[in-house]
Homo-oligomer: A and B are copies of this chain.
Amino acid sequence: MLDITEVVQRSGVPASALRYYEEKGLIASTGRRGLKRLFSPRVLDQLALIALGRAAGFSLDEIGGMFDASGEPSIDRAILREKADALDAMIKKLSAMRDGLRHAAQCPAPSHLECDTFRRLMTVALARRSSESKR
């Protein structure tokens, strides 16, 4: 069992955020010693998963939908696949943007919005816009 400072040290996540995550139901403390929370080492994996999800652009609520408080992926496999597909779409966009930026950093054209290579790269990502629902 780890107390909150050990979790902070090993995860790099501040105590205030840990308490916030617990309040939100994303992690669970296994009990208390007096007032003080005790965490199982499993929480470190869960925190890593949360950090990963956040980095992937998911909100805490969405992450809560993918993984329950024990860190197990949610049972609804359809949702997991849906999220995976969303990530795939995102990856395509980001790849296009990365290539666009690399091209812009190297291409001497005066106006990139009129540079064919640049536009073609961006178009891959921009094409998705119309098929998106929102935000």
Contacts and interface: CB of A to CB of B under 8 A. Distances in A.
A94 interface: yes
**Secondary structure of the A side of the interface?**
helix
Q: Chain A: interface residue count, which band?
A: 35 or more
B98 A80 contact: no
Interface in A83-135: 83-84, 87-88, 90-91, 93-98, 101-102, 104-106, 111-113, 122, 125-126, 129
Given A48-B126, A112-B72, A91 B95 contact: yes
A121 B83 CA distance: 16
Given A45-B113, A52-B125, A94 B87 contact: yes
A42 interface: yes
